[in-house]
Amino acid sequence: MHPLITPEALADALSARPATVVLDVRWRLGGPPGRQDYEVSHVPGAVYLDLDTELSAPPGVGGRHPLPEPERLQEVLRRAGVREGGQVVAYDAGDGSVAARVWWLLRWAGFGEVAVLDGGFAAWEAAGLPVTDEVPSELAGDGLGDVVVRSGQMPVLDADGAAALARDGVLLDARAAARYRGETEPVDPKAGHVPGALNAPSAGHVGADGRWLGAEELASRFAGLGVSDGVAVGAYCGSGVTASSVVLALEVAGVTSAEKPAALYAGSWSNWCALDREVATGG
């Protein structure tokens, strides 16, 4: 399954393939909760999952959005109706970064048939496709999902691994340029970046219309950052969420593949700061 799907293709899939599960993962840094948007309007049949409480472990030294325990993730996905042999499409309200975290998380869990809705909920509405405020009846209690989480199927970096990759390969920082340079830090206790990391803001993966750039444009962008065949590459951000979109973008660009994906520093800057590691600033 291609990691991106258009609104029209998703509409067709929902008609032709009942085992398609749509996950609404709208979320904002600092709130208000994305569930409020979901309750007003969403893709018909979509199930809302909360990034903070259902798709991450509790915050701590591991970061603000540590990877969930496999058993907990399996419970959440089964409640949402995810089945072996089915497919999942995730969407958010922004540049696809939160949905990309879900794409990455399911791939990490060993579930390959997962995609991000290109352009998110805004693209679905712009295409004139139906929306609803009706919440699916207690899918959560029906035990319809039977997915088995087989964690560890995507490469994950810890702080030492991130430091080594920044030195010996390419480590991409998905945060906005001002945060990367250390000019501002609205969330974490230190400002700056992992020494040796290069800046690749996640917002640069999409165009003005909110759709993802094409493979050639993305490949050119990464080539300009020194990412090429044979060079080890990984990504991080503030808490491991938006960096997932870098992993996805590298695959869309053809720089990496489903068989050889880029690595994710899951704890990201929040973990780096918690460990009091060396900080670099500037461009």
Mean pLDDT by groups of 10 residues along the chain of 283 residues: 96 86 92 91 95 96 96 96 94 94 98 97 97 75 80 98 98 98 96 98 93 97 91 97 97 96 98 97 94
Residues 39, 58: Cα–Cα separation, whole Å: 25
- Residue 241's closest CA among 172, 174, 187? 174
* Options 5, 163, 233, 237, the catalytic residue: 237
Residue 140: what pLDDT? Answer: 43
Residues 140, 118: Cα–Cα separation, whole Å: 26
Determine whether 237 is an active site residue: yes
Residue 137: what pLDDT? Answer: 66
**What is the token pair recorded at 40?**
């007003």
DSSP H or E stretch at residue 239: none
Full-model pTM: 0.95
Helices H / strands E in the chain, number of each: 10, 10
Q: Give the position of tokens 């018909």.
A: 44
DSSP H or E stretch at residue 173: strand 170-173
Q: Position 120: which residue type?
A: G
Residue 199: what pLDDT? Answer: 98
Q: In angstroms, how far apart are the furthest CA atoms of the chain?
A: 53
Residue 230: what pLDDT? Answer: 83
